[in-house]
Amino acid sequence: MNFPLNVYSAALAGAFIASLLSLPLWRRLCQRAGLVDDPGHRKIHETPTPLAGGFTVLTGMIVPLLIGAAALQWNFPGPKLAERLLNYGLNHRVFELGAIVLGAVGMVVLGWLDDKYELRPSIKFGGQLLIAFLVAAAKVRITLFVHSEVFSYAITILWILTVINAFNFMDNMNGLCAGLGAIGTWYFAVVAAIDGQYLVAVMALVACGALLGFLPYNFPRASAFLGDAGSHLIGYLLAVMAILPHFYTPQHPSVWAVFTPLLILAIPLGDLAWVVMLRWRLGQPFYVGDNNHLSHRLVKKGLSRQSAVLVIWLLATVLGGVALLNAF
């Protein structure tokens, strides 16, 4: 049964437009509130830059989702097949989706507090842990063939925390984190769409569109940064998008399919593992930033910062393509 492609296109385009148009407003609000990243150590920008990315991406997601929900409620004049399938999905997953959206808002609030007040690492980690637990409690969980609720909670929370901090670490050059987020959400949308998981595909496309709408303001030159609010949100969204699709299905029974999200997110996860191990060997706290990320190492090899970002995007795109072959 084929899902109408124009609904997918509307989800992607609606989120892109909402994000693109809302950024100037959020940028002005952040400037007035003093929510800016000032020039300083390990920073190359010369003027205070608004930390508007998290609010922009969240707006780009919520606006089209609210419009879509209202259209379904009022029997939108679209394809009846799309209306029937989306309503079916909403009826079965409305509680999960509500928890996901609330978790996204929570991540932006947590990141905003860190951007504004520089929270202690223990407090920030505690906030991440609480939101991850609440999402797992809403039955957005990983099973991995182990029929144990305790295991499901533990592995899900660990996964969400890991991906959030992986993307937080990757937010070290213009466009890098948002671009990887857009690539990742695109591939999760394709995986879900091919397997007939229409609502999950729409959610992933909305996230992808919101990130693409922010990118013109962040790459190659940045008039706005993600901040912790944005990087936390992106990591959270990718963690959840990796949980929602059913990679192991009767139609695709290969056990190797469960490695699909690891391939799609291989760049941020690999970078996280590398820098944490290196900091541990050097006796440094793992949460203290440095210039040993993949992007920094490419620059040390002679690439410009923009070229380094493009190379990493290309690597992520190739690995995502391999993930699709692995899944199907």
The predicted-structure confidence for 4-18, as pLDDT tens digits, reads as follows: 688 889 999 999 999
Residue 276 domain-assigned (yes or no): no
Query: In this predicted structure, which of 133-147, 150-164, 262-276 has the lowest mean pLDDT?
Result: 133-147
Residue 97 domain-assigned (yes or no): yes
Residue 77 pLDDT exceeds 60:
no
The predicted-structure confidence for 189-230, as pLDDT tens digits, reads as follows: 999 888 888 888 999 999 999 999 999 999 999 999 999 999
* Contact indicator for 184, 265 with CB cutoff of 8 Å: yes
Residue 282 domain-assigned (yes or no): no
The predicted-structure confidence for 36-61, as pLDDT tens digits, reads as follows: 988 765 556 568 899 999 999 999 99
Domain count, the chain: 1
- C-alpha to C-alpha distances, 130 to 103, 123, 143, 155, 159, nearest whole angstrom: 10, 11, 20, 14, 14
Conformational region of residue 83, where left means phi above 0, alpha means psi within -120 to 50, and beta covers everything else: alpha
Q: Is the dihedral of CA 86, 88, 92, 94 positive or negative?
A: positive
The predicted-structure confidence for 85-123, as pLDDT tens digits, reads as follows: 565 556 667 788 889 999 999 999 999 999 999 999 999
Residue 66 pLDDT exceeds 70:
yes
Residue 34 domain-assigned (yes or no): yes
Residue 237 domain-assigned (yes or no): yes
Residue 25 domain-assigned (yes or no): yes
Residue 287 domain-assigned (yes or no): no
Residue 136 domain-assigned (yes or no): yes
* Domain with 204 in it: 5-249
Average pLDDT, the chain: 88
Residue 178 pLDDT exceeds 70:
yes
